[in-house]
Structure 1
Amino acid sequence: MQRIVTGLSLLLVLLFSTALFAADPLADWVPKFDPSGAEYTYLLSTVGHPAIEGATVGYRIRDRVWQESDGRLYVDYRPISQLGGEKDVLRKLKMGAVQGMLCSSVLAPNISPRLGIVNLPFLIDSFSLLEEFRQNKELFKEFGEDAASKGIIVADYTGYGSYGWATTSPVTNLAQAREQLFRIAQAPVNVDLYKAWKIQFTVMPWPDVPQALQTGVISGLDHTPIVCNITKKFNVAKSYTNIGYAQGLYIHLINKRWFNKLPQDLQQILSRAIAEESAKVRALTVQQQQEQIAVAKANGIVFIDLPAEEKAKLVSLAEPVVQKWGEKIGVDYLNRVRAALKD
């Protein structure tokens, strides 16, 4: 009996210790200041995890704005879906219950079709073109104009890498891709694209993906190397085919009504911090993708470059999707973006 009691006591101690010292994914990002005295609070949400460089930007903005505003404006950043899923948060953003959001580029067209231009296949499909698009002041201003007319400011964006295929068996051509069942994001552009490619797909909430991969419900995942490696999807999907048809983005959205009520000096501080910190993080994302690919390769993940003739097939089949969405985005705007990025 004594041994049983001792054993139970030890088990309780171990359980308590485990709970007490359990790893907190946000422990390294706790503010080094007391925000309780702030005059204004900017509640900023994202589904992203701060292990992804593109999602660290909220904390970088938080600390900089606090310092430059002398503690008047607190950026209360809530990553990892602390405020709910993206669709729910987007609704709160429109209402003003949440003031800011790092919205995934696949959901952003729900605000304005024009925001979907970054999702169009093989258009803004590299880090360099993404930066070129951002630095074109006229095109970037027009990018957010429709959203602004609906009460949402498109402030900037960061990213989470280049889209491709993580699969449980190697995919080296379109025919092999058509043998897979891919999970894709719940986004109209992506749905149209996979239909055009005649590749089997299913739309599935992100939390359901790990079990679906492990049980064989799906055999492929349309995502980026950064996300696949950091979120352990490569534990099951051991191959990755580089497609690079689009860049995954976190688009920084702000409730316009709330922003306009801020004192002008705080508007300037916040806008400058968002722009400059976002630019820094975009550069870090390029580096992070290279690092995560290297780590994945070291762990046995096979990376495959799609042959030029196979990629040409994907580009050709995707063009009707570009044209269809060009009508929603604005054909003139689409053509000017294409022309500018080809120069």
Structure 2
Amino acid sequence: MLKITSALLIGGLASGASFAEKWHMPTPYGDGNLQTQIAYSFAKEIKDNSNGELEINVHSGGSLVKHTEIPRSVKTGQVQMGEVFMGILGNENPIYKHDNIPFLATSFDEAKQLWEAAKPDIAKALNKDGMMLLYTVAWPAQSLYSKNAVNSLADLEGQKMRAYSPTQSRLADLMDTTPMTIQTPDIPQAFSTGIIQAMITSPSTGVDSQAWDYVNHYTDVKAWIPKNIVVVNKRAFRRLDKDTQTIILDAAKHAEAAGWTQIAERAAKDKATLLKNGMMVTDPSPTLVAELKAIGKTMTEEWKAEAPKDIGAILSRYEN
């Protein structure tokens, strides 16, 4: 059970905005990550524009709350804000899986369109759980890391594949690999101890975890473009005065705009870093693309079957 000392709850739900207070915002990613850097900028803008009346303390690298516990800690008011990889919420509501479906949206333009199609339903679901959506930041397209070259799924058969969401676990099954739930900080140890032999993740995560120390190949399959969401406890937000609420919402708009603008540049930079450190960075073979697209079609149909009305509406808005 999550334990946070009372000292960490200074400026919690019982306090108002009539005096300076400190809020806490856990994020699972390290300081070198673009999403975390945007979180720091977001927090700074709020502090500056509120003249120090509200300070957001960003706790990076899972140092305050484990990744999987962040949504609950925000929902219950143990912390006021938090950042989470949206796909890990997929077991709570299938609409959270929309950006983890392989080959549904593989470019940043497509990812933006899919987000606009899903955003109203995401905001509604969060609202029911006592949270409010502030902003989202995309990741670079997710691609394949492996010890050996992969020209078809047969080259991965029987291997243990890292999974970081329910959707990735299903993908691993369909790839004839064994899914292993491994969070970002544990990736190097998981590879070095043989817990996993392959993973699909962003070039940014590969750089952050120094993937070249334990794998040799990066196959740029561009399977999907997932997102982080930053949420705030609804009660905490409503207790603020209107001016402070506006400051937070404005900072959130700026953070989201910065994220979508900077992510493509960061993706190119991180792929270059993988190359510089000796990894083989290649495009996927036609066979591998065809196999993964077939899996993507299967997973899209399975996803739609989970909630035909809601997901059908998202797909309809996205495709039209």
Q: Same fold (TM over 0.5)?
A: yes
Distance in 2 (alpha carbons) for counterparts of 1:217 and 1:86: 20
Q: Deviation at 1:129? A: 1.6
Q: Per-residue displacement from partner, 1:273-321 (whole Å, max 9, x unpaired)?
A: 1121221122212111101111211222111212234212222223332
Percent of pairs with identical residues: 18
Distance in 2 (alpha carbons) for counterparts of 1:264 and 1:130: 32
- Residue 334 (1) aligns with residue 311 (2): yes
Q: Deviation at 1:230? A: 2.2
On the 8 A contact 1:65/1:73 being kept in 2, the answer is yes
Counterpart residue number, 1:19: none
TM-score of the pair, normalised by structure 2 = 0.86
Question: Pick from 154, 174, 179: which aligns with 2:133?
Answer: 154
Counterpart residue number, 1:254: 232
On the 8 A contact 1:42/1:75 being kept in 2, the answer is yes
Distance in 2 (alpha carbons) for counterparts of 1:217 and 1:147: 34
If you compute each CA radius of gyration, which structure gives the higher value, 1 or 2?
Answer: 1
Counterpart residue number, 2:245: 267
Counterpart residue number, 1:29: none
Q: Deviation at 1:100? A: 0.9
Q: Deviation at 1:103? A: 0.3
Q: Deviation at 1:84? A: 2.2
Counterpart residue number, 2:5: none
Matches within 5 A, 1:189-338: 189-328=167-306, 330-338=307-315
2:144 counterpart letter in structure 1: W
User: Which stretches in structure 1 are left out of the alignment for 5+ residues?
Assistant: 1-36
Q: Deviation at 1:64? A: 0.9
- Residue 163 (1) aligns with residue 146 (2): no
Counterpart residue number, 1:127: 108
Q: Per-residue displacement from partner, 1:20-76 (whole Å, max 9, x unpaired)?
A: xxxxxxxxxxxxxxxxx9623332110111211122121111111122222222111
RMSD between superposed Cα atoms in Å: 2.2
Q: Deviation at 1:207? A: 4.1
Question: Pick from 54, 59, 62: which aligns with 1:81?
Answer: 62
User: Which stretches in structure 2 are left out of the alignment for 5+ residues?
Assistant: 1-17
On the 8 A contact 1:234/1:301 being kept in 2, the answer is yes
Instruction: Name the CA shift for 1:110/1:268 in 2 (closer, same or farther; >3 Å).
Output: farther
Distance in 1 (alpha carbons) for counterparts of 2:242 and 2:66: 32
On the 8 A contact 1:52/1:160 being kept in 2, the answer is no
**Helix, strand or coil for the counterpart of 1:303?**
strand
TM-score of the pair, normalised by structure 1 = 0.81
On the 8 A contact 2:88/2:166 being kept in 1, the answer is no
Instruction: Name the CA shift for 1:192/1:209 in 2 (closer, same or farther; >3 Å).
Output: same
Q: How many pairs are equivalent?
A: 303
Question: Pick from 41, 45, 48: which aligns with 2:22?
Answer: 41
